[in-house]
């Protein structure tokens, strides 16, 4: 189950489950995986935009 979704510049997405393990089928370019992630992610999933200063900025699901 999807727990954490992180979008990195320039549009690469990684997805983690509740154990912190990557879920490969949801990872890749933002354009390719966005719709699938939004369809399959539970309401409890957390979405982030990563920034290069190594902090995570929470992002509302609707803006992700």
pLDDT tens digits for range 9-63: 889 999 999 999 999 999 999 999 999 999 999 999 999 998 765 556 777 888 8
Residue 56 confidence (pLDDT): 66
Residue 23 confidence (pLDDT): 98
Domain ranges of the chain: 2-56
Residue 53 confidence (pLDDT): 59
Cα 51 to Cα 36, 39, 59, 64, distances in angstroms:
23, 25, 12, 14
pLDDT at 4 over 70: yes
Task: Check residue 38 and give left, alpha or beta (phi > 0: left; psi -120 to 50: alpha).
Answer: alpha
Paired strand residues for 13:
7, 28
pTM of the model: 0.79
Locate 22 and state its tokens. 């990557």
């Amino acid at each position: 189950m999807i727990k954490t979704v992180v979008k990195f510049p320039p549009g690469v997405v990684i997805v983690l489950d509740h154990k912190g393990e990557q879920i490969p089928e949801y990872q890749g370019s933002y354009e390719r995986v966005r719709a699938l992630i939004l369809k399959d992610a539970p309401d409890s999933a957390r979405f982030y935009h990563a920034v290069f200063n190594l902090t995570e900025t929470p992002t509302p699901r609707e803006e992700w």
